[in-house]
Amino acid sequence: MRLRRAGALLVLALLVVALVLIVSGVGTGASTHSSSNARVARAPSAAPPREHPRHHPNALANDPVGAITRVLSYTPYISLGSHRRREIALTFDDGPSPYTPQILSVLERNHVPATFFEIGRSVGLYPAYTRRLARAGEVIGDHTETHPPLAALSPASQQNELREAANAITHAGAPAPHLFRPPYGSFNQDTLGLLHQDRLLMVLWSVDTSDYLRPAPAKIAYVALSGARPGAVILMHDGGGDRSHTVAALPRIIARLRERGYRLVTVPQLLHDDPPPHGQPPPTPLSGV
């Protein structure tokens, strides 16, 4: 009887041990699975954060006037960037003209974008050149209808100069301009008020190549390169006279700037990447004559 009872207890003990082992095995498996799930759940946090849209290389293409609008919120003009990036904007005034396609060809061969400030009267003479610039992705700004020194005009006359040129540019098939360059660097408070009203950013310059005087191509290149620095805005011309020397100088300017590690950009791209600093002094007229 005692042996039978001891055998029964032994069997019962073995059953209890087996049950414990089974339960422990299930628990261990569940814990391992849970731990694996935890690692999967945490994996995304270890990945690098998504690039902020304003640092995306195509951000400007998706918002062409956004950079201009942001800069206009704190200053009415730009003549130079903030020097944070090795970028330079090449700009051309007084076109379009028969030299505009030649300059565009140099830019396209070298994969360089630029900004053109066009005279409305010239756009009326060569609308196809304006369309070609726009289709090539170049930026086109307002340079008045007849190229007068604005400071010598009444506010009403200044407004006509601005709006007639803008109309000529859009009628030629280009986007409405959001940038403006005053002929001869001449402007006054009335000009600034009109620009504010029409949401136009005034673009001055930091380097004047004086190519309108038709110096030798080597001289034009020398002046452009001498003034090169991060954020520079270089002034040249594609209209207003014989610009063959500018055409000849342009490949050298592009090559030397690239050798120095500069990236050549449009004015809106410069505003996007290297905007002018806050707290700039009020703009002062410049002489381009």
- How are the residues of the chain apportioned to helix, strand and coil, as percentages rounded to the nearest 5? 55, 10, 35
Q: Burial level of 59, CB count in 10 A (0-12/13-18/19+)?
A: middle
Whether 211 is catalytic = no
C-alpha to C-alpha distance for 233 and 89, rounded to whole angstroms: 5
Single out the residue of 56, 64, 89 nearest to residue 265, CA to CA: 89
- Tell me which of 93, 94, 208, 274 is the catalytic residue: 93
147 is catalytic: no
Query: Which of 237, 238, 272, 274 does the annotation list as catalytic?
Result: 237
Residues 6+ apart with CB under 8 A from 200: 142, 162, 177, 178, 179, 180
Which own/partner pairs from 55-61 qualify as long-range (CB within 8 Å, at least 24 positions apart)?
A: 59/272, 60/268, 60/269, 60/272
Q: Which DSSP symbol is given to 276?
A: P
- The rounded distance, in Å, linking the Cα atoms of 118 and 143 is 5
Q: Which residues are tagged catalytic?
A: 93, 237
